[in-house]
Amino acid sequence: MSVFSGMSRPMKAAGVVLVGVAIVAAVIGGITALGGGNGSNEAGPSGTSTQPGTPGGTSAPSSGTSSTPPSTSASPSSPVPPPSTSPAPGGATSAPPGQSGQPGQPGQPGGDQQASNKWVTVRVFNNSTIKGLADRAADDFRNGGWNVNEVSNYSQGIIPTTTAYYRPGTDEEAAAKQLAQEFDIKAEPRFEGIQSASPGVIVIVTKEYQSGHKGS
């Protein structure tokens, strides 16, 4: 016997509608229950979202961290040692190119050049009251290798100190300066009173002259 037996036609229609509504509700409820399990895992652990393109949801590394080990700087190049001078036979070091290292060369005063000045004539004059002072000085100069060919007196004036006089621009200049250095006296150009005297270095000796070779 049907559940709708004994009901009037309107009641039957209403019952059919209610049954249909219940069926539709059951279908919708089943669909909802089945679809609810797919949306629960959209967020990562502790709510952390995953980076796009990162497999397995692994967070992207920090931009300030580098996995590449720091490169080691190149070691500085070793300095090149200066060229050493090769010793010459006998243990002496050879001179650099362009320098002979021999005495007496131009621009390099040595024994030969100094000796070459001593051929210049030297004349010695006494300007003091000390007898024989010019002779003593002349002997000192000769012992030093100088070419003394006249010894006399000078009485035309008073000379303040023993001086070797020369004519500028001649061989007398270098000779007078060397003689003055060796015997610790002065060297000056000739003054007016002896300008016209014979060629050669003129040494006028005064009382303070000390005998002996003073130069190095």
| Per-residue pLDDT tens digits for 143-194 | 999 999 999 999 999 999 999 999 999 999 999 999 999 999 999 999 999 9
Q: Is the pTM of this model over 0.85?
A: no
∠11-13-15 over CA atoms, to 5°? 70
Residue 122 token pair: 């030297």
Residue 172 token pair: 């007398």
pLDDT number for residue 2: 53
∠60-66-69 over CA atoms, to 5°? 145
Domain covering 118-205, topology: Alpha-Beta Plaits (3.30.70)
pLDDT number for residue 81: 53
Q: How much is the mean pLDDT over the chain? A: 72
